[in-house]
Amino acid sequence: MPTMREMLWQVACRGKKTHILDALRPLAYTATSILCERLLMAKAVSIALIACGVVLLYFGGQSLHSFANDMSRLFTGAPTNRTILLIGGGVAATLAGITGLAMSGRRR
CA dist., res. 8 & res. 11, Å (int) = 5
For the chain, give every domain's residue range: 4-103
Over residues 78-106, mean pLDDT? 90
Residues 6+ apart with CB under 8 A from 86: 56, 57, 59, 60, 63
pTM greater than 0.75: no
pLDDT tens readout for residues 35-73: 666 677 788 899 999 999 999 999 999 998 999 898 988
Cα dist from 98 to 40, 65, 79, whole Å: 15, 27, 27
